[in-house]
Each structure stands twice: as C-alpha cells, then as structure tokens.
Chain A
Amino acid sequence: MTESRLTGATAMVKSLESQGVEVIFGLPGGAALPIYDELAKSKIKHILTRHEQGAAHMADGYARASGKVGVCLATSGPGATNLVTGLATAYMDSSAVVAITGQVPRSMIGNDAFQEVDITGITIPITKHNYLVKGAADLPHIIEQAFFLASTGRKGPVLIDIPRDVQLEDFSPDRVKRAPLEGYNPTIEGHPRQITKAAQLIKSAQTPLLITGGGVFHSDSSEDLQNLAEKADIPVVNTLTGKSTFPNSHDLYFGMLGYHGTVVANTAVSEADVIVAVGVRFGDRTTGPLPTFAKQAKLIHIDIDPAEISKNVPSYLPIVGDAKNILSQLGELLPEMKHRDWICHLKEISKAHPLPAKMVGVSTPNILCILQEIVKDAVLVTDVGKHQMFAAHYISVESPRSFITSGGLGTMGFGVPAAIGVKVARPDRTVIDIAGDGSFMMTCNQIATAVQYNIPICVLVMNDYCLGMIHQLQDVFYGKRYEACNFDKSVDYAKLAESMGAVGIRVTEQKQIKGAIEKGLSCGKPCVIDFVLEDNSNVYPMVTGSSLLEYRE
C-alpha cells in the first residue's frame, strides 16, 4: 500500500470522523475486525455492548437525546440479525441511526458462507435505506450519504453492510465514486398558500386543538409550538412519543390522547372543530377506532413525510414540510386569540376525571410521584408495558427530548440500553429508566456495559413478578385467565445489578422509596432499584369500546 492509498476500513473510519461521530456502540466479530483495527487508532470512542440489540437501542437513545446521528456496529450473520429489533424500533419512531455491519467477503456472498446473512434483504422494510458496499472506493461517499439520509427529511435508520474484503481493499482516494441521490428530495418548506389557509382556518375555529407527536422533537420545534399555542390560546395534547414536546405543567397542556389517553385529551379530540396535528402519524394507539376519530374536526396535518398525509386520518388541509418552519410561520400569521371558554370546559373535564390511581404503598404511580418530587428535569426513558403508561401520565416533563420511549414498535428491553445511549449523549443530565421486570430482563445484561464505561444511569424496576400489561389485558378481556403471564420470584434484581458491579437497592416498603431514589441518583454509579410492588392495579384510563370516549377509568 502506497502512502496515498487507503483501505476501505481506514476510509470508513475517516469518513465517520468527518461526520463528527464521537461514539460507536457495537460488538465485534470476524467480519468486522478490520474496522475494529482501524477504530483502535481513531479518536472515536467505542462502547463494547453485551448484545447487538442493545447497541442499536443505545445508538437510538443517543440520537433521540442529542438530535445527532447514533452509530452502531456489528459483525455479519448473528451480529447483524441481533440489530434487527433495534433498527425496527428506530424505524418506527423515525430515529436517526446508522448501523454498520461486517459481511462475508464478496466472493463468498450467496454461498451460505459461515455467518453469512442477507442483512440488506432482511432490513429493507425496517430501514430508510441500506447499502451493500461493492468496493472500497464507494465507501466514503456511501457513509456521507447514509448520514445525510438518516438525519434529513423524515429521519430513520440506514444500514451499511461492508464485506470483509472491501474493508481490506485499498484504493486511491481520488478514485472515490459518487452517485447522486436524484430520487431523494424531502420537502422542507411548507407551502405558503397552505400555511395561509391554515391560519385562516385556525382563526375561524371555536374549539381548536394541537396534537403533537415525535416529529416535533425531531424537528426541534418545541419553542415554535409553544409560541403558537400561547399566542392563539390553543390547548395541546400529545401522542406518547410527543410527550416532551410541550411543557407538561403548562396551563394549555392536557396530557396524552389515545388508547391509554386521559379522558380530557380524548374528549378534546372528539369535540375540537379544528385540529392542528404536528409530526404525528396517527398510529392506532393514538387514534383508537378510526371511524369515530375526531369526527367533528377539520384536520390540518403538518408532517415532513407526504406518505403520512391521509394515511390513517383524512386530512382537510395538509402541509408537508419541516414542522419548525411551518409552526413559526403559522405563529406569525396568527393574531393573539383567546379560547377561554373551551379551555375552561376542558379544565372542568380534567377535574371531573382525575387520574384514578391511589398514591399509597409501593405502587408505580406512588413511586413516580415521589420521583417527581425529588428530581427536576431528568431525561426519562421507559420500557414497554404498564409502567410506560403510568410514566406517561404521572411524570411531568418540561423540556424537549426528555421523555424517550419506544412508541411505534413497543419494544420491551428498549429501556436500559436506550438510557445508556441517552446518558452518553447527555452526560450533563440525570437519566432515569422506568422499567418493568419483564422488560428489564430482556436487556439487563447492558448494566454490565454501563458499569464498564461508568455510565451512571438509574433504573427503577417496577417489579410485579409478571408481565403486567399482559396481566391487565387478560384481566379485562380474557376472563382473568393469566396464561403465560407470571414469573416466579426467583430473581433479585438488586443482587443481579450488584453482581454486574452496579449499585443495587431493593425496596419493599413505602417508607424506603424516597431514600432509595435519592441514593440511586446520588451514588454516581449505574444503579438498579428493585421496587417489589405491593399494589399491581391496572393502568387506566383504557379505551374499551368503539370510540375514544368509551373507556374504563
């Protein structure tokens, strides 16, 4: 190799550096070792995870918390397939992740070589785009393109599969190949005429409502949203992933809508005459039964992805583009308005339907309320299940990118690794994972990762010795037949954490809750608190009928 020539692996790592990558989450294998050998010489930090699914969730958490691209790295075959759940999770929630996988050498592809898997084929439906790299000279450009794709338009994961011999192949940098992206032109600017029409429609509304989703935080438009809501005096409800898009203590905030939404949010949706939905894809958990959803409203749908317009809910006035521009323009066009009657009406509903849980004992709502009093402005990460819904209701978050959860895919096991990624991105913030025992067990191996790299996350395990959400569904809909739902009581999560070098605390009585959380947050180490729940009530409200207004609470 002459001086001016590069290998694929060198070029790749250099490209990652020039993309500003500071950290990669991964786990090596034979087909990725040339890359690892180059990483050893780079200033990019590599975090060795205990399982590749976790690496993908970490990259995802990193991306969601920072707004930058998260990067994960795995070997061919099983390494690559282990990424799949993480990539699908990132895809469903539009998270900017770049995944790099090793592949068997080009000459062996298609021959069922050892640890060969067609990962580009497998991930077509769960990535925004993917590449199988055919030659080292393509690499610099592909990396650049992958980062561009992942982080622009509607964000999403992009996978790059690199055969081992491509990693080793050397090439002359002036031979770098470029392929333009003619078919990729995301619409950023909202159409001015649509924005003007939207302003008129909002002006004419008596009972307007803003629904905010994950798109608001992906476009960093919380401030513009708040300006608009305040100026035009419009109440705000959010989807699960949109929770941290609007200060939860705000006078105009009415909580989460949907299947597990608050009564007031769901009533607001049903009574609104104009709905401005921003960065929401109207997933079924948000809308409940479609035929009855927001029947009285004219929908203004703001989204960067034209395929979301009228996909599930017909939109009266679509505006395709980046929410930030659109919201700020809308805000300027609108006059100061007042909708006090409407808001008072909603406040009355809110008062008449408080969240039902009793705040006593070692119960998830009680723990969350105590947590709320102790920490201000932490980043909350959740797993999936009842605890996730409790967290959405009982924790109030005030700043953007502070509530990170797997919304679209509902991936149990997201919490611990995502929290690690979040903490790596935002070492300045307190990062707390609210987990269920079922979810925790799926990726708790990554506590060892947190310990090894001293990433002090605090995991609160809501331990009900069962798959709580399944228990609830079986309770309500399956005649209390709790099939395949209960765990035996063999695991002590505090000891499990201790065995990995983390701080472990077990809580069995109400009076221990506060001290345990305080200790967990101040110990400066990764910490797992095992809350053995005394009360395992169902999480309500829950929609049980054919509209959002038929619910149990």
Chain B
Amino acid sequence: MRHTISILCDDTPGVLTRISSLFSRRGFNIESLSVGHTETPGKSRFTIVVEGDEKILEQVRKQLQKLVHVIKAWGISQEESVEREHALLKIQMSEKQRGEILQIITAVQARIVDSSNRTWILEVTGDTSAIDNAFNLFRHYKIIESIRTGKISLERGSGKAAKK
C-alpha cells in the first residue's frame, strides 16, 4: 500500500540524511519527497510518499519521531487531506499539433510558462492522479523532458496537525 508521511523538523544540515536513511535501511523506496520551509523560521516540512508494509512503516515513523531534529512525524490519509503536486513538461510539437495541445492544456488546466519556436514548457498542478492524467495525455506528443515535485499534503480542517 502507498502511504504519505508528513514530518515537521528543524531546518538543519544532515536532517535529510537522517530521515531518508531510516527508510532506505528498511528497504523502502521513497517514491516522492518534497521539502520546504514553513511559516515558522527554522522549521521545514517534508511530505514523503512510500509504498510498503504498514507495520514496518509505523516502526519507521516511530524511529523518525525519535530523531532529535524531528518535531513530529505522522501519517496522512488521502481522504482527510488536500494533496498537490506540481509538474513541468517541455513539449516539442509541429505546427499542426498546436491546436490539439492547446485543447489538452485547457482540459487539464495546464499553463504555458515558456514558449520558443517549437517547444513549450507547461506547468500542471493537481493531485497525483491529475498529474498522472496530464502526463498520459501529453505522452502522445514529444515530451523532451519533464519534472515533478512530488506530493505535498495538508490536512483539512482548522487544526494544526503537528500540534495534535
């Protein structure tokens, strides 16, 4: 099963290694990992997506919680959270294809963020399946390169998850 783990931690050198090694040690492949600053100076937040055994993952979560720099590590359920992922795609097209591509762009609510002669860079935002869907649609054209941020998640409701 696929799991999402959220981690609030100190923004300090080495914290990524400490976190990721707890996963790799137990044979988990991190599917996506995104990290950035939070509203509190000096604090970062990770969203990590992994596939694997729930029991082992719970052990990983407890071990994460033991890291001195980790303030809180908790699992996030898909239903109770808002999830977003961001992707950039560089697409090459012929004159003829432009119209079709523009239609897809409208359909998946992508934006053109850069354009040159015969390539566009498109930006797509959405939950993971929306991004997957966009990729599927653009796959019929020539994707020169692409990049995804990995998922970020925030729980719905008015509370602060890390305070719970």
A182 — which chain B residues lie within 8 A by C-beta?
A: 10, 71
Q: A182-B10, A183-B9 are in contact. Are A307 and B66 (CB under 8 A)?
A: yes
Q: Is the pair A181, B68 in contact by a Cβ cutoff of 8 Å?
A: yes
Q: CB of B62 within 8 A of chain A?
A: yes
Q: CB of B17 within 8 A of chain A?
A: yes
A305 — which chain B residues lie within 8 A by C-beta?
A: 66
Q: CB of A536 within 8 A of chain B?
A: no
Ordered by A's residue number, 15 sampled pairs between the chains whose C-beta atoms are within 8 Å are A124-B14, A124-B17, A124-B18, A125-B25, A129-B68, A132-B13, A149-B68, A182-B71, A183-B9, A183-B67, A183-B68, A183-B71, A183-B72, A307-B59, A311-B62
A121 — which chain B residues lie within 8 A by C-beta?
A: 17
B109 shortest CB reach to chain A, Å: 38
A124 — which chain B residues lie within 8 A by C-beta?
A: 14, 17-18, 21
Q: CB of B92 within 8 A of chain A?
A: no
Contact of B10 among A128, A149, A183 (CB under 8 A): A183
Q: CB of A306 within 8 A of chain B?
A: yes
Interface digits, A300-327 against B, CB 8 Å rule (1 contact, 0 not)?
0000011100010000000000000000
6 nearest A-B residue pairs (beta carbon):
A307-B62, A183-B71, A129-B68, A183-B70, A184-B68, A182-B71
Interface digits, B6-19 against A, CB 8 Å rule (1 contact, 0 not)?
00011001100110
Q: CB of A42 within 8 A of chain B?
A: no
Q: CB of A329 within 8 A of chain B?
A: no
What is the size, in residues, of chain B's interface with A at 8 Å between Cβ atoms?
19
Residue of A120, A128, A132, A183 with most chain B CB atoms under a 10 A cut-off: A183
Q: A129-B68, A183-B71 are in contact. Are A307 and B63 (CB under 8 A)?
A: yes
Task: Kindly report which residue of chain A lies nearest to residue B62, judged by CB atoms.
Answer: A307
Q: Is the pair A311, B59 in contact by a Cβ cutoff of 8 Å?
A: yes
Interface digits, B46-78 against A, CB 8 Å rule (1 contact, 0 not)?
000000000000010011011111111000000
B21 — which chain A residues lie within 8 A by C-beta?
A: 124-125
A381 shortest CB reach to chain B, Å: 29
In the assembly, what is the distance between CA of A513 and CA of B18, in Å? 52
B65 — which chain A residues lie within 8 A by C-beta?
A: 306-307
Task: Kindly report which residue of chain A lies nearest to residue B14, judged by CB atoms.
Answer: A120
Residue of B21, B59, B68, B70 with most chain A CB atoms under a 10 A cut-off: B68
In the assembly, what is the distance between CA of A179 and CA of B72, in Å? 17
Within 8 A of B (CB), among A109-166: 120-121, 124-125, 128-129, 132, 149
In the assembly, what is the distance between CA of A120 and CA of B18, in Å? 11
Q: Is the pair B10, A306 in contact by a Cβ cutoff of 8 Å?
A: no
Q: Is the pair B18, A183 in contact by a Cβ cutoff of 8 Å?
A: no
Mark B residues whose CB is within 8 Å of A.
Answer: 9-10, 13-14, 17-18, 21, 25, 59, 62-63, 65-72
What is the size, in residues, of chain A's interface with B at 8 Å between Cβ atoms?
17
Q: A120-B14, A124-B17, A124-B21 are in contact. Are A183 and B59 (CB under 8 A)?
A: no
Known: A129-B68, A306-B62, A311-B62. 7 other contacts (CB 8 A): A120-B14, A124-B14, A128-B68, A149-B68, A181-B68, A183-B9, A305-B66
Interface digits, A34-72 against B, CB 8 Å rule (1 contact, 0 not)?
000000000000000000000000000000000000000
B13 — which chain A residues lie within 8 A by C-beta?
A: 132
B70 — which chain A residues lie within 8 A by C-beta?
A: 183
B17 — which chain A residues lie within 8 A by C-beta?
A: 121, 124
In the assembly, what is the distance between CA of A120 and CA of B69, in Å? 15
B14 shortest CB reach to chain A, Å: 7
Task: Kindly report which residue of chain A lies nearest to residue B72, judged by CB atoms.
Answer: A183
In the assembly, what is the distance between CA of A182 and CA of B41, in Å? 13
B119 shortest CB reach to chain A, Å: 38
In the assembly, what is the distance between CA of A184 and CA of B10, in Å? 11
In the assembly, what is the distance between CA of A120 and CA of B10, in Å? 17
B18 — which chain A residues lie within 8 A by C-beta?
A: 124
Task: Kindly report which residue of chain A lies nearest to residue B15, judged by CB atoms.
Answer: A183
In the assembly, what is the distance between CA of A406 and CA of B65, in Å? 27
B67 — which chain A residues lie within 8 A by C-beta?
A: 183
In the assembly, what is the distance between CA of A120 and CA of B71, in Å? 21
B7 shortest CB reach to chain A, Å: 10
A187 shortest CB reach to chain B, Å: 11
